[in-house]
Every structure is written in structure tokens, then in C-alpha cells.
Amino acid sequence: MKPLFFHKTSIVHELPNRLRIKAGVLKYPNLDPDYFEALLEAVPGVNRIRSNFKAGCVIVRYDGRHGTRDAVLNCIGDLPEDVFTGKNNRKQPASRLSLAVKGTLGILTFFLPKIVGGVVAVALCAPVIRDGIVCLWNRSLKVDVLDAAAVGFSLFRRDYFTGSMIVFLLAVGEYFEQLSETKTTGLLKNLLKPRTESIWIEKDGQEIEIPLDDARIGDRVIAGPGEMIPLDGVVIEGDALVNQSSITGESLPVHVSKESPVISGAVIEEGKIIFKATHVGSETSVARISGFLENSLRYESDSQKKSDELADRLVPITFGLGLGLYGLTLDPAKAAAVLTVDYSCVIKLSNPVAVRVAMYTAAKSGVLLKGAQAMDSLARVDTLIFDKTGTLTRGQLIVTDVCTVNGMNQDQLLSYTAAAEKHYSHPVADAVVQAAKDKDLQFAATSQVDFIVAHGVSAYIEGKNLMAGSRHFIEDDEGIDCSGLDKKAKALEKQGKSLLYVAYDEKLAGVIGLRDELRPESGAVLKALKRTGIRRIIILTGDSEVTATALAAQLPEVDRVYAELKPDDKANIVNEYKEKGAFTAFIGDGVNDAPALVSADVGICLPSGADLAKESAQVILLKEDLNCLLTARLMALRCGETIHQSFVSAVGFNSAFLLLATFGLIAPITAAVLHNMSTVGILGYAGLREAKLVNESKASYVKNILKKRPFKQKEKGEQDVFLPN
């Protein structure tokens, strides 16, 4: 049960576009500060916020509208439960004014009489000593104890100037550390901000403006030059050049016209369109991206948790060394110098700084990662498992052949199959429906349409059951003889075509042949991925062994193709590789890929993927281009390198400072200055290095990766085609 103060919210001060709100919820110990701020900044009309969680206050700058004011208060008063899954332990950074005051008073202690200087120094040092005592009282040996001990030793030897300046330098260090973390968090928060509050729609021949929240699926939305497309939809009138860089990372504008899909967040550079809304509210592209990025602010990766644990373990070592040195030398100056050198700050902060900047850069480059763990896991992947259709291939199948049997004619077979498949979002279904439309065939009325995941579709047409799917589904599962078209089916398979078997009224009705082409970038991307350390590239397909072999021949980097898969085989194969010690990533886009996406260590989905596949994946590519997969892999590796280099630098610099302090070669003030300078420098390096990758040549980076990391290549004899029993 939450305490009474939790529900208290009041406006302390108000200006036309500024609110100062006191809210008990800000003091709640399990509040996640970053997630809270992300939610509040995502309120339409909010420009900037500043929070003081210890004081329980937040200052909100907004557009001055009464509706925005109410939305802010409602947001604070009705926070979702998952905001309370963190630790409300963010330190409030010192303001510039307080830094200036501390610095001035610290310098004055050098010139003031000893008694007056001592009083000033004690006043400055008291909060630091208090925090250290509280930390020890709670049986916790953390950085606060080191700081308190260093300051205490200085006061003990009546070196008031040193004690005061250490407090000042600690405040300066915390200020820049918090500034660095705030800026990297702000990068992700900027992507959460909605850019429009109302939209224009066409209704009964008139253009009317409505609030974005009132939009409904099917609305005819109008968007003109310079305007942001507010919803996902399909163009029904007009044409335009659309800049999608904020969503897909594609720098060049794309031309859209009738029947072209458009995505929310894109901006119209030229032209005007009317499009039919297909997704509204939380289902739009921008809203989904916001949800993923909010998660990235909330959860730590395994590497970050390990960094935190290591940093905490190093604090007792530094503390013990300082006390031990004092016991041996009885020199409080040497002990204070040692205690001002702390490993933990930079080790703890460099990881989230690098990860958040990398995630922001990835999002701007067409790759969406659902949290820091996705970045961490993607760098560890050694086995890539692809679902063939829609990933390595274009996924835009076309019907090439319609073979019939048992009295069914071609148009009837195509019409019946399309009527059942039109309810199903999948490349095969789309191809059949499009083929029927191209021939102006009438769709028969259907009933009891049922999707059998990873099998096919079943429906009743004119009172009789029609089933369409793989041969395994029709013949093995449903017991319908498919041998009547064996000769034609084998001929189509030899041509590398996929087959859709159709049964009607418990008899085989025909086979539909479909062709899909490899994505033009597939070969080059797979080759580059191998050079980044991927040991195995596996393809899973429901196609026949002959078709699978034809595909493998076009991609020499593929190590294994699993053909003629049964329903549960995809997830089972992923689990088999995991049991053998492989770290797996599965790339798919269909509803039937969801189990495999969840089973893999990393699930990756393409932008055209089904909603269930996108929800199941940890990584979403925002462009129909496998180069985005390479970009994601490179950024993950780069981020891992940055974290490692930051760790080595932190240990190296601070160990050197610690050694100098131990032998009395540097004074406590010098040790504090060197420690803070190295911390701020390493954090700046971690952020800038990740932001730089988007401007680098992928080819040169792959080359550099290979030089630095001689990965083990594929095992001998793995190049084969496997046909499950």
C-alpha cells in the first residue's frame, strides 16, 4: 500500500507557460526517474521539464494551452504501474550557482583566519560527511564513504582549504557526470516527442480539423508541404515527396502516390496527399517507437549490471588501501589523496552513456533496439538464423503457375484460395490475393476462417472446407493425397519456385507456384556479417529440398538450410542450437515466426513484419534493407568496444593516480582534480565515439573489426542441406 503523501499533488507556482508542481509521487522510493520524465515530456505541448526528486518538485515548461496544463496534471496523477519498478536514487546535481558559491568559499578558507576558515570548511564538508555516515549506518560501503573519509582526514589535520576544495571538486565532478548522462538520456527522449496535436480530415466533402486523439481508422487524412504525416495509412489521392529520415534513417525523400503506404513521423517535402488511416493511437509507427525507447530508458543490460557490481566491489579496496596507508604512515594527507581516487563513478556511467548514444544513433540509422539488453545481446550473437521468405528474399511473391486437378479450373482455384487468404497477413497470401485482383476475379463468400499457425489457412466456401498451405499440412496433417500433381510440383520446384497446396471438399484441388527473388543486397550483407564474427548462417524454409538447395547455391555464405519444415520446427531448431552453446539471433517477419523470435537470444523483425512478430522481436529494422541488420551488428560491436575501452581507461588512469597518491607524489587536491578530469574525459569519449559511427564507412569499419578481432570461422562440414524427419 502506498503512503498518504503519494497521492498529494499541488501547483506551487504558475506562469502562462510554466508550472511548478509539488507531487508526493516524486519521493516514492521505487519511482523510475528516467521513465517518469520520459512520460511527462511525451505529453503533447510539453517543451521541457526539470525535476527535483528529493524535494518532490517538477518544473514544466509548456505551450501555455489549458489542455496541455490539464494533460500534465492528469499524467502525474495517473501514472502507469510500471513507472514504479525502479530505484528513485538519482542524485540531484549541483546548480551552477551552488558550484560558484562552494568554489568561492573554498578559496576563501585559504585566506581567512584559521578559526573562521574552519567554521566555513566544516559547513561545506558537513553534507558530504553526513552522507558517508548514513551509508555506513546502512552497512553499505560505497563512494559516499570514500568521499566522507577523504574530507574527514583533511579536517582532522586542519587543512581546511584542502577539505573545502575536495568538496567543490566532488560537486563539479557530479555536475559534469550528471550532465553527460542527462544529455544522452535526452537524445532518446527527443525521439519520444510527438510533433502534432491536431489533424485535418476530409468528411462529407469538407476539410475539418480534429484533435489527433479523435482520429479513427478509415479517416481520410490530409497532409501538405512541410507537414508531418500524423498517422500510418495508405494514399488514396495525390502524390508527394516524403522525407522518412526521422523514422527509417533514409536520407533521400521517397515518392508516394495512390496505394503507397505512408508512416507516421515522416514529413512531406513537396506535394499534397489524402490518405486513409490504417493505424491510430498507440498502434502508429511513432507510438511504437516511443514505447520501445521508453523501455530502453528503464532496463539495464547484463553488461551494465556487471559493471555496477564490479564498481561496487572496488570501493572497499580503495577504502582499505587508504586506511591501511594511514595506519602505516600516520599521514592523513596520503590517506586523503588515496581516498579521493574512485573507480566506480566512471565504470558505472560509461556503460549507459555509450549504450544510450548508440541506441539513438541506431534509431536515426534505421534500427530500433528495444532496450540496452538488445544491444548487448546483438554483439554476442554467433549464429544467425533466417526465415527465408520476406527476409533474405524480397517477400513480394508473384503467382507464376496455377495447376489444377479433380475438376477445379484455374480461375476458380485462384478465386477460392484468395477469398480465404485475404484474411491472412503473409507474403504468400498477399501474392495470391493480388493475382486474383489482377485477373478481376470475384472473391467468394467465406465463413469460419481459421489460421493454423505455421501450417496455413482453413475456410468454408459454398459450404465446403478449403485448406491452403504446405504439403505437410495438406497431406500429413489432414490426410489428403497430394500425389496427383507430383510431376508438375517437381518441375516447379526445380525452377526454384515455392508451392502452395490447396484442398477443397477433402480432395486436392491444385497447386499454386510462386516465385520470390533474393534481395539484391543479401549476398554482400551475409559476407560482411561473417566478417564481424558470425560463425553460422542458417536458413529455415518450408520449401522443398530442391528449392532450398537452389537457394543455398546462390548464397555461398550460408552454412545450412533446413527444408520442408513442419509447424514447430523453427522454434525447435533455434532451441537446438542454443542447447549446443550457440548464441542465436532469428530474423523473421510473419505471425508464424513469433515462437522462434521469442526462443532466440535476439529476435529481429523487418518493417513489413506482422504485428505479432514486431511485438516478439527485440530488434526492428525500419527499412526494407538488410544493410540495416549489418548496421545494427556493427553498432552493437562498436558499443561493446567502447565500453571495454572506457573500462580499461578508467582502471588505468585511476590506478596510476592511486599509485602516485600512495607514494605521496600528489596532494589530495591534485588527486581529486586528476580523478574528475579523467572521469569527464572518458564519459565524453564514450558518447562521441558511438555518435561517430553513423558517418563512417561500413566497409572500412568491417575491415577494422576483422583486424582487431580474429573470430573463429564456421566449422568444417557444416555446408549442407538438412531435411527433418
Question: 10: part of which helix (H) or strand (E)?
Answer: strand 9-15
Least confident of 224-228, 282-286, 562-566: 282-286
Alpha helices, H only, 191-300:
245-248, 285-298
Query: What CA–CA distance (Å, rounded) separates 123 from 131?
Result: 14
Biggest alpha carbon–alpha carbon distance for the chain: 110
The verdict on 341 and 468 lying in the same domain is: no
- Mean pLDDT of all residues in 494-499: 81
CA angle 481, 485, 487 (to 5 degrees): 130
Domain stops at, among 462, 492, 515: 515
> 233-265: string of b/e by CB count within 10 Å (b at 16+)?
bebeebebebbbbbbbbbeebeebeeebebbbb
Residue 524, judged by CB atoms within 10 A of its CB (0-12, 13-18, 19+), counts as: middle
500 touches 432 (CB < 8 A) = yes
Q: Please report the pLDDT score of residue 93 as a whole number.
A: 59
Structural domain contains residue 723: no
Residue 668 lies in a domain: yes
Angle at 149 between CA 144 and CA 155, to 5 degrees: 125
Indicate the Cα dihedral angle 432, 433, 434, 439, nearest 10°.
90
Same domain, 43 and 113: no
pLDDT at 112 over 70: yes
Sign of CA dihedral 351, 299, 264, 64: negative
Least confident of 171-185, 227-241, 301-315, 601-615: 171-185
144 near 135, Cβ under 8 Å? yes
- Establish if 285 belongs to a structural domain: no
pLDDT surpasses 60 at 469? yes
718 in a domain, yes or no? no
C-alpha 72, offset from chain centre: 26
Q: Are residues 154 and 109 in the same domain?
A: yes
Question: Rounded mean pLDDT of 291-299?
Answer: 55
Q: Tell me, what's the pLDDT at 2?
A: 47
Average pLDDT, the chain: 78
Asked if the model's pLDDT at residue 384 lies above 90, the reply is yes
End position of a domain, from candidates 56, 90, 124: 90
Q: Note if the pTM is more than 0.85.
A: no
- DSSP code per residue over 446-509: EEEEEEETTTEEEEEETTEEEEEE-HIIIIIIT----GGGHHHHHHHHHTT-EEEEEEETTEEE
Which of 461, 483, 515 is at the close of a domain? 515
Kindly state whether residue 607 falls inside one of the protein's structural domains. Answer: no
Per-residue model confidence (pLDDT) at position 665:
86
Of 126-135, 467-476, 686-695, which gets the smallest average pLDDT? 686-695
Residue 53 falls within a domain, yes or no? yes
* 295 band by pLDDT with thresholds 50, 70 and 90: low
Q: Is residue 511 part of a domain?
A: yes
Based on the fold, state whether residues 500 and 409 are members of the same structural domain. yes
Q: Which of 552, 601, 563 is nearest to 580 (CA)?
A: 601
DSSP-derived letter for residue 342 is: -
Note whether 346 and 411 are same-domain residues.
no
Give dist(CA 433, CA 447) in Å, integer: 17
Nearby residues of 303 by Cβ (< 8 Å), 6 or more positions away: 351, 376, 640, 643
Task: Please give the pLDDT value at position 711.
Answer: 46
Same domain, 505 and 416: yes
Identify the CA nearest to 50 among candidates 63, 66, 37. Answer: 37
Mean pLDDT over residues 38-56, rounded? 78
Phi-psi region of 661 (alpha: psi -120 to 50; beta: other; left: phi over 0): alpha
- Helix 302-329 to helix 143-156 angle, to the nearest 10 degrees? 20
Q: Is residue 19 part of a domain?
A: yes
Residues 336 and 402 reside in one and the same domain: no
CATH of the domain at 75: 3.30.70
| Amino acid type, 176 | F
At CA 224, angle to CA 223 and CA 226, rounded to 5?
A: 115
pLDDT at residue 609 tops 80: no
Give the confidence band of 583 by pLDDT, cuts at 50, 70, 90.
very high
Q: Which pLDDT value is given to residue 704?
A: 59
Number of domain units in the chain = 3
Mean pLDDT of the region 577-584? 92
Q: What is the mean pLDDT of residues 401-421?
A: 91
pLDDT for position 416: 92
Calculate mean pLDDT across residues 112-120: 87
Helix (H, G, I), strand (E, B) or coil at 198: strand
Q: How confident is the model at residue 715 (pLDDT cuts 50, 70, 90)?
A: very low
Same domain for 402 and 508, yes or no, is yes
* Per-residue pLDDT tens digits for 507-521: 999 999 988 778 888
pLDDT at 282: 56
Tell which residue, 297, 300, 294, has the closest CA to residue 351.
300
**455 vs 387, 451, 476, CA distance in Å?**
15, 8, 11
Whether the pLDDT of residue 710 is over 50: the answer is: no
**Do 117 and 79 have their domain in common?**
no
Show the domain range for 82.
4-90
CATH (domain of 486): 3.40.1110.10
- The percent of residues above 70 in pLDDT, for the chain, comes to 81
Report the DSSP beta bridge partners of residue 279.
Answer: 232
In a shared domain, residues 17 and 53: yes
pLDDT at 716: 44
Give mean pLDDT, residues 32-60. Answer: 79
511 and 407 part of one domain: yes
pLDDT in the model for residue 719: 42
| pLDDT above 80 (res 41) | no
Q: At what angle do helices 668-692 and 627-662 cross, to 10 degrees?
A: 170
Cell of 204: 462529407
| Integer Rg of the chain from CA | 31
Write down the H helix ranges in 330-462: 332-339, 344-364, 372-380, 410-421, 427-438
Neighbours of 387 (CB within 10 A): 26
Q: Do 407 and 504 lie in a common domain?
A: yes
pLDDT of res. 5: 45
